[in-house]
Structure 1
Amino acid sequence: MNARNARIAVIHYSATGTVHRLAEAVADGAVDAGAEVRLLRVAELAPDEAVDSNPQWRAHLDATAHLPAAGHDDLRWANGYAFGTPTRFGNVSSQLRQFLDTTAGLWQAGELADKAATGFTASYEEHGGQESTLLSLYNTFFHWGSVVVPTGYVDYDVVSAAGGNPYGTSLAQSRAEGDPEHVKRVLAAARYQGARLASFAGALADARQD
């Protein structure tokens, strides 16, 4: 599949940087496949006192303040979406959920339909709700009429080495802290996921032009 016509919006929320690392890898994979990519963040909703209570949270928020905030024009522009979120009790973070909840007008206008979409996530523990978070995120894509593109086991070696999540790339921070080689394998899976998304987005764009 040719990704030359793919326009990918990688939209994510990351509190302390783990999901951001995945977002960068997904974006790199899509670029390597030939796609045009926008790496975007959603707004922080937590009050300053909550952010300041965790030095890593404040440091990451300040370090990524230069990233453009995602908007509806980005969704119109893109023909492929990659959404990233930390797990929140096995569900999507409120920050990303709030952004998704603003898309009703685009959905009603059919501007989100027939576009490729995928998700990625991170939690502290390996069984911290990664799969349920992605499945919850994908419910939104079903309502949009998007074409969900999971990692699957298409490239079994890459996905298995990263932990074997067929729904989307996921990283457990507890393991990442002591296993840098595992982090490399997960980032490789995220790059693969970005390239796979770009291929589908390009193919769907070509089909719509025919």
Structure 2
Amino acid sequence: MNLRRYYIILLIVIFSFVLPLSAKANPILNRGSEPSFNNQVNTWTESINGLAPTISFIFSALFTIMFLMGVVRMGYSIVTKTGQVMKFSTGVLIWVPITFFFIRIMVIIIFTTNSKNVTLLASDIINLIKSTGYYTSIGMVLIGLVFYMFYHFIDHPEYGRWSKRLWVSAALLTVLTTLMPIVLGAA
């Protein structure tokens, strides 16, 4: 818990240096010379886009530091045989790369998606999930066949039960993958 507080403070300090604040005077009588809302939005987006490489580097450095801290703590926990430290460092070593990859993908999707290709993106994601479901069910059937073969070779009833469970699960997955997009109206 204490380490999370340090990460939050580190993020606040980094953002306070990266995003400087400026104060502007806005006289009441001089309303006609204000920039329009569109001009202000364009100015903001240009300044944010100009800061994108710096922010990307800072995020990369932050996740690298977190990962290296996890590696060091994992070494410490192995040497001292401390279970709680090993559990925390294992969590850091698993979630830091996943989070980093997820943030990178989301940034790419956010900056490359416009109103015209959002529906294409959604249909592509649906098709990806459907094909993943079909391939997973094929893999389940093949693994079920291997278990069934083991059941006949060594006559162990667990392998027979597992093969039947995998076949039923594969059939259920295939039916759900086929029918749910139609039922939900996304096909």
TM-score (norm 2): 0.23
Higher strand proportion (structure 1 or 2): 1
Higher helix proportion (structure 1 or 2): 2
